[in-house]
Structure 1
Amino acid sequence: MSTAAPRQKEPPPRRTEGRLSNGAFALLLTAPGLALFAAIIFYPLLSALFTGFFQQDLRLPGREFVGLDNFAYWLDGDFLTILEQTLVFTVGATLLPFVLGFALALALNTGLKGSGFLRGLFLFPWVIPGVVVSFLWMWIFNANYGVLNGVLVEAGIIDESVAWLGRPGTAMLAVIVTKTWASFPWMMVMLLAGLQTVPKELHEAASMDGAGSVRRFFAVTWPQVRGVASIVLLLEFIWNFQHFDTIYVLTGGGPAGTTETFATAVYQTAFNGFDIGRATALGGLWMLLLLLLVAAYLRITERKGDV
């Protein structure tokens, strides 16, 4: 007669009270980074925005709460003028290097002889620091001994030297040209990378159908690189919207404030006018506009990723 084997007792369940959940463990791992982010970015940002509600002079101790007076000072004053001049600089310093960079990218993409050497040569302005570029072009635009005036006078285009950086009608153009020279290589490289992803079979098929070079560009090339071009344009627009060094070195916002942008206005108000409250208020308004541009950039990249 067989006897049933005795039933073994099941081991007691493990205690999990002392273990962290996956979410808590992830939070613990990211806590040092979050603390560093809050210390160097989040807290200074909130502190600066809070300062915009106070009247504060850098030369005097203490500050006085004035509410929205600092923001009203700009909105009722020079805000629209500064915005207009910032947009003029931003649009000009974005479209001009884009056109130049795209033209060079198209030329280099055709397999031009010595294209490797030319590509490296065109990158030269990009690797030079912005302040150095600004001083270089300040010398070129100089009214007394500038190279530009010397060449134009010798060619008979102008009769006398022109103060390019001292005239309201030419100062902004000079700043845009300087920024164009410094930024077109980056746009050229990005657009060239986009052009090299276009399948050659599409161009060959369009050629067999009798399409010329202009028609092939709009029917084949542009649709393929439109996504890259839109991201390049928007990124350059955002960077130029907050650009500082070229404008400050060449003109300092002058003459008569005709090249003043948000970046130079905030600097001049804070460190030349010593009014940190109004400078912070203008910086807060400037930041809101930048957030709109960043939101547009994220929207475009999301659409490109969905495709």
Structure 2
Amino acid sequence: MLALPAVTLFLVVAIYPLVASAWTSLFDQSLLRAERSFVGLDNYADVWPAFISRLGTTLVYSVLATLGPVLVGVSLAMLLNSRLRGRNLLRGLLMLPWLLPGVVVSFLWAWIFNDSYGVVDHMLDMAGLPQVNFLGRPSTAMLAVVVAKTWNAFPWVMVVALAVLQTLPKEQIEAASIDGASRFGRFRYVVFPHIIGPVALVSLLEFIYNFGSFDTIFVMTGGGPGTSTMTLAVSLYQYAFTSFELGKAAAMGVLWLVALSVICAGYFLLNRKLESRS
């Protein structure tokens, strides 16, 4: 009885929309007409080629948008863990990108990379280099989106890594220094084994979040130019609210859920393995 309110809320908020979406995926349903007709698995067959293509783009974005924050966050955590003057002030300032909403960050970086009045092209022009339309070229659009996502997400990786570094016994670092270990050796054999577990979990969580990320790509590129940044989230949005094909959008969502479930299963296995070691 005590758990009944929470269970009811979970069924209403999570389970019912999931079941309704799976049921809708079996119908030819549109926002432009009231009636719908049963088509079985035809929607899945129609969206399957697009799903495979968007899945590849989503994986590329998720991997790059995870590596960027992890590398930047861990590097800054190691810097802030050292005896650096003003490090407390830097810790506060470096948290600002994480406090901003994703849409605000997306608009900010869209202005920065704008080919007409953007800061990046202005700096390239001042340096005598040719200007680049980062958001308008398929070869650079993904890079621009990943840079924006990295700037937005690195602070929380930095905080986790810094918290773990501060639990590292100083005696181990001192012992390694006495034994003649170089700075790289101390990081490789002492620091890295200590932080790899939490950082791996944070990386996997960030990857799962990026796999379903929508706001950054939608605001900055809308999935373009062409389909160079067309992820599953943006593709599903276009099926539902541009083409108004709810059946195909639901089918894309179900396939997306299956792919995400595989990734989440990897997270639980890794978490269980790390817990068994500790």
Partner of 2:173: 203
Q: Does 1:119 align with 2:101?
A: no
Deviation string 1:85-116 (CA, Å, 9 cap, x unpaired) is 10111111100111111110111111211110
206-215 vs 291-300, greater mean Cα deviation = 291-300
Which structure's CA Rg is the greater one?
A: 1
Deviation string 1:220-274 (CA, Å, 9 cap, x unpaired) is 0011111111101000000000000000000110111110001000001100000
The structure in which a higher percent of residues are helix is 2
Partner of 1:286: 256
For residue 73 of structure 1, the aligned residue among 26, 46, 53 is 46
Q: Does 1:52 align with 2:25?
A: yes
Q: How far, CA to CA, are the matches of 2:154 and 2:62 in structure 1?
A: 14
Counterpart of 1:171, as a letter, is A
Partner of 1:43: 16
Q: How far, CA to CA, are the matches of 1:169 and 1:296 in structure 2?
A: 31
Q: How far, CA to CA, are the matches of 2:144 and 2:106 in structure 1?
A: 11
TM-score of the superposed pair, with normalisation by structure 2: 0.97
For residue 111 of structure 2, the aligned residue among 139, 161, 166 is 139
Give identity over the alignment, percent. Answer: 49
Q: How far, CA to CA, are the matches of 1:230 and 1:162 in structure 2?
A: 35
Counterpart of 1:103, as a letter, is S
How many equivalent residue pairs? 277
Partner of 2:245: 275
Q: Does 1:194 align with 2:173?
A: no
For residue 141 of structure 2, the aligned residue among 171, 174, 186 is 171
Question: Following superposition, which runs of at least 4 residues in structure 1 exceed 3 angstroms of deviation?
Answer: none
For the aligned residues, what is the CA RMSD?
A: 0.9
Task: Please report how far the alpha carbon of residue 162 of structure 1 lies from its aligned counterpart in structure 2 after TM superposition.
Answer: 2.1
Counterpart secondary structure, 2:136: coil
Counterpart secondary structure, 1:165: helix
Counterpart of 1:124, as a letter, is L
Q: How far, CA to CA, are the matches of 2:6 and 2:149 in structure 1?
A: 35
TM-score of the superposed pair, with normalisation by structure 1: 0.88
Q: How does 1:1-307 map to 2 (within 5 A)?
A: 28-75=1-48, 77-156=49-128, 158-159=129-130, 161-306=131-276, 307=278
